[in-house]
Amino acid sequence: MTKTPTLAVWKFTSCDGCQLTLLDCEDELLTLAGRLRITHFVEASSVMEPGPYDVSLVEGSITTQEELHRITEIREQSRILVAIGACATHGGIQALRNFADVTEFTSVVYASPEHIATLATSTPISAHVPVDFELRGCPIDRRQLLDTLCAFLAGRSPDIPNTSVCTECKRRGTTCVTVAEGIPCLGPVTQAGCGALCPAYHRGCFGCFGPMANPNIHALLPILRVNGMDTGDIDRVFATYAAAAPGFANRSGDESS
């Protein structure tokens, strides 16, 4: 009899939103549970089985010494390791610390900062261990999550686009909010995958899926400025969800050239 593949879900520094996306696959969850045995998922069960695991979904960024050790152990226990969400793929919102003094942050936020043991940076999982696949977004998209799990079950590569959010606007017939309403939008440089969610609700994309492959940020900056963003606004929007992604973090070089 063929052994049912096992799935483990892990949390590092994060808000749990990406793990909840798995629970949000309501209609498909029972079918999935019939094809995969979920053997470690603290968010959903108190029963934890030891590894090894066929697939590990890893949420969150590495921000403490303890997490550094733990991700190495999880990698050793996992045949396939998938980083899920902006925290795990780009350091997340907490990667803002990478541009500041963490000691100063902790002294402002905590009454007793001497009890805080944290690293100076927030880094993606791939900065520490080999990652087999990355799912973008804050949170991830449930259709992409399901496709990725089905792909690994079927022994094929996940069918995930690396084009821009603009291509998804065109595909769903959404009128461009920048062209029609003058709303600044990072869609032209952000990786597709959300189905152009924000433009569909008359909002500009703020880049939560991180940079697409070879983003032309230099071409986008004057358009953002024409539509009302000053340097501070541009700095903030590029540093919000994917602050640690070189494609967005190296933006200052584009602007000065």
Residues that bind ligand SF4 (CB under 6 A): 14-15, 17-18, 59-60, 85-87, 92, 138-139, 165-166, 169, 176-178, 185, 187-188, 190, 194, 196-199, 205-209
Bond prior to 52 in cis (omega within 30° of 0): yes
CB of 230 to ligand SF4, least distance (A): 19
Residue 7 or 18 having the CB closest to ligand SF4: 18
Helix/strand/coil for 81: strand
Residues with Cβ within 8 Å of 234's Cβ and at least 6 positions away in sequence, in order, are 221, 224, 225, 251, 255
Residue 69 or 170 having the CB closest to ligand SF4: 170
Residue 38 or 185 having the CB closest to ligand SF4: 185
CB of 89 to ligand SF4, least distance (A): 8
The residue number whose beta carbon is nearest to ligand SF4 equals 187
Residue 78 or 139 having the CB closest to ligand SF4: 139
CB of 181 to ligand SF4, least distance (A): 9
- What secondary structure letter does DSSP report for 174? P
Task: Name the strand (E) or helix (H) holding 231.
Answer: helix 231-238
Residue 120 or 219 having the CB closest to ligand SF4: 219
Q: How far apart are CA 2 and CA 100, in angstroms?
A: 51
CB of 170 to ligand SF4, least distance (A): 7
CB of 3 to ligand SF4, least distance (A): 30
Q: Is the dihedral of CA 151, 156, 162, 165 positive or negative?
A: negative
Q: Minimal CA–CA distance to 81: which of 124, 26, 24, 142?
A: 124
CA 214 to centroid of chain Cα atoms: 18
